[in-house]
């Protein structure tokens, strides 16, 4: 099969890590007889420099014309002084909106060879750790009306419609079916009206998935449970604000930020796939970045946008094998371990596919 992929390398380490992900994808294409055609477009600081805006219309058009989007990372000190509307991150929020992406998936998995990078005590992860945070991306207090009174009081309106909750809930339950069959819905229904809408809606949607186990946690308890007993979770379904916080918490308990992928999906198969980390200006251009988060993001692309499960498995297994063999970039290496560069790590993964 032939697939068109929009490639938005972005800033800092973005171009380096995306190049390694493409190297691995090309190997997958060769092994499985597919063709991946890449179409590059600008976003973030790179787009500001070239076109004066973090999200040129041409980039949106390119993404919409493709089957999926790979994104590196955006931002860096060069653009920090710009007004909010002109900042590189505006490009990210804008593209999610333009592509209608309303769910953000962040798997957090502990890779056995990196178990001692986990900041939790070994007994806390005795059950392993393999969960995915399913975060709503287009609603909640982030997109509600904002204003400041004359006396300086700030207001952010928090809102969730039933339709917004329904569509993400269906996504989470369907995903749970492909995993361990367990959804934990997280809200603050004891206090917030939006959360009561959230919980009632999830309870109703759950009736359509009698084969999926479901439980409900308040977000404060969920935050605690994530560090006390993360093995209890499979799919964590939550809103934009709680999801932002819990997904960072979930990812840091697995070790390095350089390992963690993400997917943003909408109603169609078009999705955007990116590592959760930023542009790492401190190591940009030095061939030091860990490309694994980006490589694993493209595995999610194969699975969710293209329906290529065997290919995704092959890529994920290749990553497991290089870790078992002891391949390490600087962020995941112990003091006495040999450190590979970004491109060597890409070579090693490609060779295992
Ligand atoms: P960051 O994630 O870029 O870096 C944090 C630390 O992790 C740094 O020490 C960095 O060297 C390290 N790191 C990150 N990715 C790595 C990788 N693949 N391999 C090895 N080490 C890695 O976060 P920071 O420093 O807060 O932000 C830097 C810039 O990135 C800022 O301009 C920020 O706005 C932007 N940013 C962009 C995001 C995106 O494009 N999705 C997300 C987060 C931040
Ligand atoms: Mg965040």
277 and 348 belong to one structural domain: yes
Catalytic residue (choose from 26, 38, 130, 244): 244
Name every residue whose Cβ is closer than 8 Å to that of residue 283 and which is 6 or more positions away in sequence: 13, 289, 330
Among 222, 253, 284, identify where a domain stops. Answer: 253
- 151-162 average pLDDT score: 95
CA distance 214 to 345: 39
Integer Rg of the chain from CA: 20
Ligand-binding site membership of 286 (annotated): yes
Q: Does the active-site annotation cover 211?
A: no
User: Which residues make Cβ contacts (< 8 Å) with residue 130, sequence separation at least 6?
Assistant: 107, 108, 109, 110, 180, 234
Quick check: is 220 catalytic? yes
Give the number of the atom of ligand 1 that is nearest the alpha carbon of residue 74: 40
Measured CA to CA, the distance from residue 187 to residue 197 in angstroms comes to: 10
77 with 147, same domain: the answer is no
CA distances from 306 to 66, 275, 335 (A): 12, 19, 40
Does residue 246 form part of some domain?
Answer: yes
Nearest to 184 by CA among 138, 238, 228: 238
Write down which residue in 196, 230, 253 finishes a domain: 253
Q: Which domain holds residue 213?
A: 119-253
Does the active-site annotation cover 142?
yes
Classify residue 113: in a domain, yes or no: no
Is 188 tagged catalytic?
yes
**Can you give the pLDDT at residue 253?**
86
Q: What is the mean pLDDT of residues 201-223?
A: 98
> Quick check: CB of 77 below 6 Å from ligand 1?
no
For the sheet with 213-218, list strands across it: 35-40, 2-10, 68-73, 271-275, 261-265, 103-109, 130-136, 235-238, 182-187, 213-218
Q: What is the pTM of this model?
A: 0.91
d(CA 285, CA 306): 31
At residue 86, does pLDDT exceed 90? no
Ligand 1 atom closest to the Cα of residue 290 is 19
Q: Same domain for 241 and 299?
A: no
User: Are 263 and 249 found together in one domain?
Assistant: no
Q: Is residue 47 part of a domain?
A: yes
Burial state string for 63-88 with b = 16 or more CB within 10 A and e = fewer than 16: beebbbbbbbbbbbeebeeeeeeebb
Does the beta carbon of 58 sit less than 6 angstroms from any atom of ligand 1? no
Mean pLDDT of 326-339: 91
264 Cβ closer than 6 Å to some ligand 1 atom: no
- Mark whether 143 and 179 lie in a shared domain: yes
| Residue tagged active-site, from 188, 273, 304, 331 | 188
Looking at the structure, tell me whether residues 125 and 231 fall in a common domain. yes
The answer on 221 and 128 residing in a single domain is yes
The 3-state secondary structure of 172-195, one letter per residue: HHHHHHHCCCEEEEEECCCCCHHH
Percent of residues, the chain, with pLDDT higher than 70 = 100
pLDDT score of 254: 83
What is the three-class DSSP state of 165?
A: helix
Q: Are residues 131 and 160 in the same domain?
A: yes
CA–CA distance, 91 with 54 (Å, rounded to integer) = 5
Rounded Cα distance, 132 and 308, in Å = 19
Is the pLDDT at 17 greater than 80? The verdict is yes
Catalytic residue among 26, 130, 248, 344: 248
Does 15 reside within a domain? yes
pLDDT at 187: 98
Q: Is residue 292 part of a domain?
A: yes
Q: Is the same domain home to 232 and 317?
A: no
Residues 237 and 128 in one domain: yes
* pLDDT tens readout for residues 25-79: 999 999 999 999 999 999 999 999 999 999 999 999 999 999 999 999 999 999 9
**Residue 88 near residue 54, CB atoms below 8 Å:** yes
Annotated binding-site residue? 220: yes
Q: For residue 114, is it within any domain?
A: no
Q: Which phi and psi (to 5°) does residue 217 adopt?
A: -130, 145
Is 174 labelled a binding residue? no
Residue 151 domain flag:
yes
Of residues 183, 159, 179, 160, the one with CA closest to residue 170:
183
Q: What local confidence, expressed as pLDDT, does residue 325 receive? A: 96
Residues 271 and 215 in one domain: no
Q: How many folded domains does the chain comprise?
A: 2
CB of 157 shorter than 6 A to ligand 1: no
Task: Judge whether 89 is annotated as a binding position.
Answer: yes
Question: What digits encode the pLDDT tens for the residues 227-276?
Answer: 999 999 999 999 999 999 998 898 888 877 899 999 999 989 999 999 99
Domain CATH code at residue 154: 3.40.718.10
In-domain check, residue 286: yes
Beta carbon of 45 within 6 Å of any ligand 1 atom:
no
Q: How confident is the model at residue 334 (pLDDT cuts 50, 70, 90)?
A: confident
| C-alpha distance from residue 151 to each of 101, 146, 158 (Å) | 37, 15, 21
Same domain, 249 and 270: no
Q: Is 133 helix (H, G, I), strand (E, B) or coil?
A: strand
Residue after which a domain boundary falls, among 232, 253, 274: 253
Q: Which ligand is nearest to the CA of 260?
A: 1
């Amino acid at each position: 099969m032939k697939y068109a992929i929009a490639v938005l390398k972005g800033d800092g380490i973005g171009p380096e890590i995306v190049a390694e992900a493409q190297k691995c994808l090309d190997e997958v294409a060769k092994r499985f007889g597919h063709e991946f055609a890449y179409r590059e477009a600008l976003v973030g600081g790179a787009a500001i420099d070239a076109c004066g805006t973090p999200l040129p219309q041409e980039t949106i058009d390119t993404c919409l014309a493709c089957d999926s989007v790979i994104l590196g990372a955006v931002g860096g000190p060069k653009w920090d002084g710009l007004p909010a509307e002109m900042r590189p991150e505006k490009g990210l929020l804008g593209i999610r909106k333009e592509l209608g992406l309303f769910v953000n998936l962040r798997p957090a998995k502990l890779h056995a060879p990196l178990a001692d990078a986990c900041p939790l005590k070994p007994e806390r992860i005795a059950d392993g750790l393999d969960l995915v945070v399913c975060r709503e991306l287009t609603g909640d207090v982030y997109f509600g009306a904002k204003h400041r009174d004359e006396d300086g009081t700030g207001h952010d309106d928090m809102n969730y419609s039933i339709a917004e909750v329904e569509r993400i809930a269906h996504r989470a339950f369907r995903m749970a079916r492909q995993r361990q069959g367990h959804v934990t819905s997280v809200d603050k229904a004891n206090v917030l009206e939006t959360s009561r809408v959230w919980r009632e809606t999830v309870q109703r949607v759950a009736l359509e998935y009698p084969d999926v186990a479901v439980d409900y946690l308040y977000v404060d308890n969920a935050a605690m449970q994530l560090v006390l007993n993360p093995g209890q979770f499979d799919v964590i379904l939550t809103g934009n604000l709680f999801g932002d916080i819990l997904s960072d918490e979930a990812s840091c308990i697995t070790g390095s930020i350089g390992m963690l992928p993400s997917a943003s999906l909408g109603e169609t198969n078009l999705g955007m796939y990116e590592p959760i980390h930023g542009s790492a200006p401190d190591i940009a251009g030095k061939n030091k970045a860990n490309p694994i988060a980006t490589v694993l993001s493209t595995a999610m692309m194969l699975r969710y946008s293209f329906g290529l499960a065997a290919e995704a498995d092959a890529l994920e297994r290749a990553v497991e094998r290089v870790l078992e063999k002891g391949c390490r970039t600087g962020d995941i290496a112990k003091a006495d371990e040999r450190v590979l560069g970004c491109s060597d790590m890409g070579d090693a993964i490609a060779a295992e596919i």
